[in-house]
């Protein structure tokens, strides 16, 4: 069967925000300590305690934003514990993740230093669960206020004269769960209350992100949207008091008690994982439909600030550290998510993979013994997709897509999205079939196009993954299987593969 992808090159749609390629760093396992942060006295090359090779690898992804300090950790984190001289910072117990002692050596200044090194915009998650309105308001002032004020003076006393730009602020995290086990109505009132005191300071304009639903909890979305003033009355008036809702969804093949293995899986589990990853499309569609009832002008954004695969931890590792390997299957899960974000570019304004280093679907792994840095297959999907950043989405209409029944749903085995910027276009194609190639005709309309080059990500087996001893077992390579066709281009995709093709438009 030949699949046809009809792409109208002359009809650009909503802009795909670069922020849907965002990242997430929680004080969890070896994400911060041993991942980003090694300390100034470490043997690993570092810049003021931050791993230099991590910064280099993430800058190659053009990382647009970084969410911190959690996650569940955020609602136990008190920011004053992480400022000032490190030797005077109090210690605490990280009760959510491994019951280990947190020494607060990586705090506000270290995080903002990291963001500046990365060229990424900070996304700070504030503490609603165990904090106070005053604590959050003072943190905003500490970070972003110039001139003379108590918190600006405290920041200067800690060595930073100039305020930082902090454009994104989370009003708590998972209020329906680890952030307080709240009912939607109660949290909706708290979100309005806290958001009121997350104030713009000078020219720092804050985009406030309230806790939205998990998975398919449409009732939570309904309650949060009802808490707004009349959004339909004025198509240009800003949404107040917060500007977006979050959405969390994780892909696993089993249950919360047994999520499935990262590298040892059957063909059936391959398809179950991709079928469940494709649920993101359904969740975005249905949550957007609820939001449209109250916000037809789409002034309120949807921020998918936790997504990714969640497998059982690797044998022999701390179960509270959530360390897992990352295979070609994870890479295709990422591709499925990005395609969904592209198709919903008019509502999805940001997304954050969980998490950047050594935790869950990480893009980087660091080896505690050798100190080696490993780029995972998921990393390469991010890197291959940088051409979509801030490009205009293009509608893609698929015909004759092969399917398979999995997990009670019909899973399409070919996924295609496209975007355009200047006189170029980028087309992403994924073949989710574990064992069969796919032939795809790109029916290009509205403008003529030539393929400037293509790259492919695949490997001999679906469970292939990268390690310190084999760091390039799964890595992108040049691809010559894109050929001219009377209707545009013909692409021959190997099994279990992801491909990007750059087009020159005339």
Close Cβ partners of 99 (under 8 Å, ≥ 6 residues apart): 93, 320
DSSP string, 156-210: HHTT--SPPP--EEEE-S-TTTTTT---HHHHHHHHHHHHHHS--BTTB--EEEE
Nearest to 228 by CA among 169, 124, 167, 298: 298
Number of C-alpha atoms within 13 angstroms, CB side, residue 342? 29
**Whether residue 410 lies in the annotated active site:** no
Q: Judge whether 344 and 62 are in contact, CB under 8 Å.
A: no
Helix/strand/coil percentages in the chain, nearest 5: 25, 30, 45
304 exposed, middle or buried (CB, 10 Å; 0-12, 13-18, 19+)?
Answer: buried
Name residue, tokens 């940088």.
Answer: 386
Nearest to 462 by CA among 265, 272, 261: 265
Q: Which of 141, 281, 306, 383 is catalytic?
A: 306
Q: Judge whether 163 and 144 are in contact, CB under 8 Å.
A: yes
Report strand pairing: 301-309 vs 348-354: parallel
Name residue, tokens 């591709």.
Answer: 335
Q: Which of 102, 138, 174, 281 is catalytic?
A: 174
**Whether residue 281 lies in the annotated active site:** no
Close Cβ partners of 153 (under 8 Å, ≥ 6 residues apart): none
Q: Which residues are catalytic?
A: 174, 306
């Amino acid at each position: 069967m030949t699949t046809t992808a009809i792409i109208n090159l002359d009809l650009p749609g909503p802009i795909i925000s670069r922020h849907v390629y965002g990242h997430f760093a929680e004080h969890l396992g070896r994400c911060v300590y041993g991942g980003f942060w090694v300390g100034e006295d470490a043997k690993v090359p570092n810049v003021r305690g931050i791993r230099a090779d991590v910064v280099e690898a993430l800058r190659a992804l053009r990382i647009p934003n970084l969410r911190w300090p959690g996650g569940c950790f955020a609602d136990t984190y008190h920011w004053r514990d992480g400022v000032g001289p490190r030797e005077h910072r109090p210690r605490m117990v990280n009760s959510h993740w491994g019951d280990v002692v947190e020494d607060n050596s990586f705090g506000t200044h270290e995080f903002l230093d990291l963001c500046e090194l990365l060229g990424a915009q900070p996304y700070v998650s504030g503490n609603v669960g165990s904090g106070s309105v005053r604590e959050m308001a003072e943190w905003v002032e500490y970070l972003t206020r110039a001139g003379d004020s108590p918190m600006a003076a405290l920041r200067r006393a800690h060595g930073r004269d100039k305020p930082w730009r902090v454009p994104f602020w989370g009003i708590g995290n998972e209020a329906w769960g680890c952030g307080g086990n709240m009912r939607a109505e109660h949290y909706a009132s708290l979100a309005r209350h806290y958001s009121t005191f997350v104030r713009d300071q000078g020219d720092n304009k804050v985009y406030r992100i309230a806790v939205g639903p998990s998975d398919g909890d449409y009732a939570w979305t309904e309650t949060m949207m009802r808490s707004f003033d009349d959004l339909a009355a004025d198509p240009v008036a800003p949404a107040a008091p917060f500007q977006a809702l979050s959405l969390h969804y994780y892909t696993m093949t089993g249950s919360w008690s047994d999520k499935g293995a990262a590298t040892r899986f059957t063909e059936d589990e391959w398809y179950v994982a991709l079928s469940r990853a494709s649920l993101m499309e359904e969740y975005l569609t249905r949550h957007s439909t609820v939001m449209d009832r109250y916000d037809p002008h789409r002034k309120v954004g949807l921020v998918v600030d936790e997504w990714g695969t969640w497998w059982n931890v690797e044998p022999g590792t701390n179960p509270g550290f959530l360390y897992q390997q990352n295979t070609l299957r994870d890479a295709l899960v990422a591709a499925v998510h990005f395609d969904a974000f592209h198709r919903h570019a008019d509502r999805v304004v940001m997304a954050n993979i969980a998490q950047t280093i050594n935790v869950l679907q990480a893009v980087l792994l660091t080896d505690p013994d050798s100190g080696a840095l490993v780029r995972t297959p998921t990393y390469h999907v991010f890197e291959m997709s940088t051409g979509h950043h801030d490009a205009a989405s293009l509608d893609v209409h698929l015909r004759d897509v092969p399917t398979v029944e999995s997990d009670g749903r019909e899973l399409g085995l070919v996924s295609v999205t496209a975007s355009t910027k200047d006189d170029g276009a980028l087309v992403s194609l994924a073949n989710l079939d574990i064992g069969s190639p796919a032939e795809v005709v790109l029916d290009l309309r509205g403008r003529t196009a030539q393929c400037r080059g293509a790259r492919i990500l695949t490997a001999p087996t679906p469970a292939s993954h990268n390690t310190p001893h084999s760091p390039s077992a799964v890595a992108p390579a040049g691809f010559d299987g894109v050929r001219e066709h009377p209707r545009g281009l013909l692409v021959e995709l190997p099994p279990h593969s992801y491909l990007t093709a750059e087009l020159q438009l005339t």
